[in-house]
Amino acid sequence: MKATMYRISVRGQLSERLESAFDGMTLKPDKTTTTLVGQVRDQSHLYGLLDRVRDLGLDLIDVQPVPTPDLPGTDTAQ
């Protein structure tokens, strides 16, 4: 599996301090949610990120691959 860009949404506003806990993902806080966006290397990496969400007691809202046909080295096929 090639790296795929993912968007992971959680309830609440996370501080920038937690950005390092999410292995290269960028935090994009909104009024009531925070979206983590970044490249996920493989399924193991994705499950690790989701484990971190669970371990921190965050309320997971959504997990979506982001179509990025213009970026080399990405694969949005599932």
Residue spans per domain, the chain? 4-65
16-70 pLDDT, tens digit each: 888 888 878 999 999 999 999 999 999 999 999 999 999 999 999 999 999 866 5
**33-40 and 26-29 beta bridge pairing:** antiparallel
pLDDT tens digits, 3-26? 899 999 999 999 888 888 887 899
What 3-state class would DSSP assign to 32?
coil
The fold for domain 4-65 equals Alpha-Beta Plaits (3.30.70)
pTM for this model (two decimals):
0.80
**3-class state of residue 4 by DSSP:** strand
